Every structure is written in C-alpha cells, then in structure tokens.
Structure 1
C-alpha cells in the first residue's frame, strides 16, 4: 500500500515533467541531426562552402566598383617645378595612383611586361614650359598598352595640356602688364586664380545611369538574399531524400523504440531542418556583414529573425515532399522541380516587374517574398516591422505545409 501511494504521488507531478520531456526530446533529436550534418563533409560543402564561393564569385563579377582605377608609372628625369606639379596633379585624379621609377627601372618593368604603359618626363621639361618651347612627355607602351594604359595616357595628356595652358597664361600676362608689376606678383595672383579654378571648376561632368531604378538598387542587397534563399531551397532536396532513406532502411521505426512517439519524431525532423537552414544562413550573413560591411548589427539581427521564418517554410516544404513521395527518386524530382521553379521565377537574381507572366508566377514562390523583405532590411530602407506581410505569408506556408506533412507522415515504407 505505501508503494501504491508513492506511485500516485509521482504520477501527480508527472504532467509538468512529461510536458518538458515532450518538448526536450524533439530538440535532442534535432541536435543529434545537426551534429551528424556537421560531421558530413559533403553536406557541409554543398550547404555552406558552395554558397560562400558562389556569392564571392558573383560579387566579383557583378558587385565590383564601376569607376576607373589605374596606376600611372612615371619616371621623372627632369626634377623641376613643372615636372613636380605634373606628377602631383596626376595623383590628384580620382582613381589614379602614381608609381615612381628611374628610367632603367621603368624600362625593365616594360621588358618583363610587369608594366604595359609608362610615362617618362625628360630632362628640360620645366625649362621648355617656362620658355614656351615644345615640352614632351614620352609614353612607352608594351604592345597597345592595354585598355587601362590607353585611358591613363589620355588622362595624363589632359593634365599635361592643362599645366601647359597655365604656363602660357602666365607668360601672356607678363607680356601685357606694365613693368611696375613684378614677375613674382604675376605668379602669385595667377596661381591663386588658377588654384581656385581647379578647386571649383566651372564645368562639372556628371555620370548618370540610364536605368535610374538600377542606379538606386545596391546589387549586393539582391545577390545575398538570392544566394541564401536559393541554397535554403536546395536543402529541401537533401532533407527530403534523407527522410525517405531513413524510412526505407527502418531508421524511423527504430527511433520509435526509444522514448520518442510519432509526433515527437515529426517535430524533431522539422526542427532539424530549421536548424540546418539557420546554420548555413547565419554563416553567410555574418561573412557578408563582416567582410562586405553591407549593413549594421541591427540589420544583422533582423536578417537572422527573417532567416528563421524562411528556414521554417523551407523545412516544412521538404517534409511535405518527403511524406508524399514513395521513393527517393520521387522525392528528388519533386524537390528539384519546386526548387528550380521558385529559383527561376522568384526573382532570385534579377528584379521581377510589376506586371506580366513572370510577376504572376513569382507570387507562387517563397523567393519573391523572402528577397523583398531581405532587400529592405539589408539596404536599411525598411525594418522587420515593414516586412509583416512577407513574414506572415512565409509563416503561413510553414504552418499549412506542417499540417499536411503531419497528416501524411509515416515511419514505415509499408504504412498506408
């Protein structure tokens, strides 16, 4: 009888413990799945390393600086005031650096093709400008000098012409004014006027992109969400295949011989898919924020929350495919079709217009809503609160797919 009372006392405390256990067992299963994922080099390479490499390549191809950058390789054999001014003004040109050589060093670099275009300021350059005789800057090229070399040569030509015009102006003023004005005064006032003209040029050349929408859009803010969502969807294939294989070889049935029940097993598989998706997303986000500095820490935190919702939707879709398919081939082709459809028509790498067939098809993809939300957050033009519609829709997809998958879920290949 005492034993019976003791058993009843224990059972009265069991609901809270059972609730904690029912929550903890799926989490432990998810943790085990994540550890197994981290131990699988092939899965890691596909899910984490490959997205990083792809994103780096795309940034290199599409996200580079569109302004001109080059180096002028100069050998100054004159050393005079005009030669010094010429080199300094070349350095002042945006995107253009100057590297100084002796004549022998420049010739050696050209012979080795280490330099394709070089500039030699010969001795007597300053004296020629001051006297009004012909001043020459020699351009030495390897072949045609390359596109950058030709552009640099044109820039140097323009700077040299501007400098020559200033010397011509000084001489002309000196010839026009009376002898009471000293050459030093002419030099002083001319220098002040020309210096002010250089600092505030009367003509500004402004570059404008023909597509103003593309000008405003930061391509990195689109590439990163596109890569993240695409590989989250690719993981759908892996998750579906894994569940089919475990059902075929009896792993799911053996798990039920532990203290897990069917609902806990289903929840554990869902949490495992979400955890794997979050892991690869966080790695990509942290690298992008640290290396590319695309936004601040607040945007990083908001992106992580959004990634949780997207991962949940992708994991739920994987469960629907896995529970509906009878074979690995069916799961593979089903996942590939859904993934490719969403990737191609969801605006993963290019913006979708406001009308037309593509816009209509994009409404049936996760990519469109996830990328729209990510673009605003990463571009710091919107917050997570502004993405309420997108998050609600993605969350709704996750819930509906979970309900369908749970109704179809079975642990045995023979189960009906």
Structure 2
C-alpha cells in the first residue's frame, strides 16, 4: 500500500504544476487537433496549380477546366509578376505560363508550348502536377489532330453535311467528350488490406513521442529527490530499495497512462479513432510500452547524479526515439543501417504495434513479438537500476 501511495504522490505533483499541465496535457491535445485538421479528407494528389494565362481564349479555358477536374487540384490564376514574386519567395515551387496565341496554335493542329517555371524539381507535388499538365496537353493535342484528320477525310468524300467544318467540330467534340466519360480501357483498383490514412500513421507517433517525453522528463525529479535526501527518508522510514524504485516506477507509469488517455480521448473527439473493436487491445498494448519507457526513466535517474544531466539524457532519448523508430517517417529501403538502429529503439516496437491495431491489420494477440521485447526491456532496465540505485547520493 505504501508503494502505491508513493506512486500516486508523483501523479498528484503533475496535476499541481501548471507548467507541466500545459506541456503534458494541452500541447498533445493541440497537436492531435492540428493533425486531424491537416489530413482530414486529403486526396491522394493534393496541390495548387498556379497559372499565368496570357491567352484567355477557348483552348486555354478548356486546359484549365481539365486541370480543375482532377480531384485535389486547386487552380489559381494570377499575373506573371505575382507568380514570379511568389516563386522567388518560395511561396510556391512552380508555376505554369500559358502563352498568347495558345488557342490559335493548338486549333491549327500545330505543337503548342506551355512554359513551366520551378525551383529545383518543384517538389513531389510539383512533379505530379507537371506530369498531369503534360498528359492534359497531349490529350488536347491528340483530339485536335483527330478532328483535323476527320475533316480532311470528309473533304475527300465529296459533298454532304460533313463538308462543313463547324458540323464536324461539333460532332467530334461530342464524340470525344463521350469517349472521356466512357473510356475503352478502364483501370480497376484492387485494395490489398485496409488502407491506412495519414492520420492513422501520425497519431501513434504522437502517442509514443509524448509518453516517452512525459515519462523520461520525470528523471530529473527523481535525481532531485535523491539529492535532497527525500529518498533517504523513505529508506529510513522502512521502505526497501526495491520498494522505493517500485513506487517511483508506478508514479511514472501512472503519468504515462494519464498521457495516453488524454491523447486517445483527443483522437476520439477529433478523428474518431480508437472507436472500434481494438480499443481495449490498443490500451492493453500501450501499458507494456509505458512500462518499458518508465523503466528507462528510472535507469536515467539512477545513472546521472545531477538533475540537469538527467534532463539532457531524457531529451536525447526522446529525440532519438522520435527521429528513429518509424515515429513520423519510414526509413528508405536502401539505408540498411537506419533500419537496424530502429530495432534498438523502444518507439519502433510501440509504433509498429499501435499502427497494426489502429488500422485493423493486427490483433493484440498477434503482437506477441513486440510485447515480449517490451517486457524484456522493462525487466532489464529495472534490474540494472536496482543494482546501481542508492537512496542517497554519496
């Protein structure tokens, strides 16, 4: 009972400190809300196509309309000076200039040119936009050439209604429009497994990041209590070294659990995540992760003699686990070293398990490998901490 009271005392200190409430409660809620707003309903291709239209006639308007038909593309029309200013200030990475005479050139069946200005390669979205622009231009050019070919063939056939170019153009426009709506070749998309959206990718990373930071941040308090003889008083009050460490471990564990519940509640409110059948599986799996991180915090507090050193160790540990461990980005397949380093981080196993559970691609009992690794880390770090722990700094 005394061990449990010691742990709850540390949780009470968290809620009593306004700065810690702001850091560990309001900040993660704000980040979850920002992620939900950023990725809500985002299509596969999303970007702004900045255009300068010097032509202002039929073909240029059709070109712009077809770009706007692509889901996720927002077309912005501006003048050349403004487009150059935005490109120079890196507000955009590329813009497209439609020259005057574009409609006349394309209508005659001659090659029409459009200028694309960009910084570097224009970014990944810019490259996709450039491909889309080339595709639309090629499609429009092909339609015009087919129309001219039909007109030439009709002219060779003699008199008839199709001798008139306007009639042929109207007929071909109707025919080509129908062909675009009902193409002869259709692409069938086959989904293998449930697709994971970006929100489902980032929220587990937010969970691991804040739990690691919140738990290891307490290591400096651990050192302060040790230096201020508080733990020495616990020891002389009848608590053994193991009981003191167990109480402190429970305190950090409860802090991490509180952090988890806050983020999960925010995710439920803003993203509707964690509302499925895997809710309790996610919660139970997270307990093993919190235990592993809590043991790391205890070890940091036992190793470093000064609060500042413990704080820096906690920050470095948090940064390594956020930069690696597949927290917010997956390593490139050709970089083997990073992949092997990931195996040494706590966040790697937590992120892997949480993402499988949140997407429905895995069940709690299928994550026995990750759970065993987290249990091993917990036991190992606590055992090492018990061996080197002294209630009072000598």
Per the normalisation by structure 2, the TM-score is 0.63
Counterparts of residues 96-115 of structure 1 (less than 5 Å): 96-99=73-76, 106=79, 109=82
Contact conserved, 1:91 with 1:97, CA < 8 A, in 2?
A: yes
Q: CA RMSD in A?
A: 5.6
Alignment of 1:89 with 2:66, yes or no, is: yes
Deviation at 1:158, TM superposition (A): 3.3
Task: Give the superposition deviation at 1:247.
Answer: 1.8
Aligned to 2:192: none
Match of 2:14 among 24, 30, 34: 34
Name the CA distance, whole Å, in 2 between partners of 1:68 and 1:162. Answer: 26
2:355 to 375, 383, 398: 375
Quote the offset at 1:89 in angstroms: 3.0
Answering whether residue 370 of structure 2 is matched by residue 398 of structure 1, we say: no
1:18 corresponds in structure 2 to none
Q: How does 1:38-117 map to 2 (within 5 A)?
A: 38-41=17-20, 45=23, 49=27, 69-74=48-53, 77-78=56-57, 85-93=62-70, 95-99=72-76, 106=79, 109=82, 117=96
- 1:276 to 2:255 alignment: yes
CA contact (8 A) 1:320 1:401 kept: yes
User: How far apart, in 2, do the equivalents of 1:342 and 1:140 lie?
Assistant: 45
Instruction: Tell me if the contact between 1:121 and 1:138 (Cα under 8 Å) persists in the aligned partners.
Output: no
Q: Does 1:247 align with 2:226?
A: yes
Q: Displacement of 1:315 after TM fit?
A: 1.0
Is 1:51–1:231's contact at 8 Å kept on the other side of the alignment? no
Alignment partners' CA distance in 1, 2:245 and 2:353 = 29
CA contact (8 A) 1:321 1:334 kept: yes
The Cα of 1:190 is off from its aligned counterpart by 3.7
Cα offset for 1:108? 7.6
Q: Once the 2 structures are TM-superposed, how far is the Cα of residue 319 of structure 1 from its aligned partner?
A: 2.2
Larger Rg: 1
Distance 1:195 1:335, change over 3 A: closer
Give the TM-score normalised by structure 1: 0.61
Q: Encode CA deviations 1:278-312: one digit per residue, 9 max, x unaligned.
A: 34445555666766778864556543432222111
Q: Give secondary structure in 1 for the equivalent of 2:220.
A: helix
The answer as to 2:293 corresponding to 1:314 is yes
Q: Give the whole-Å Cα distance in 1 for the aligned partners of 2:206 and 2:247.
A: 27
SS of the equivalent of 2:361 reads coil
Higher relative contact order (CA closer than 8 Å, sequence separation 6+): 2
Of 189, 194, 211, 2:176 maps to: 194
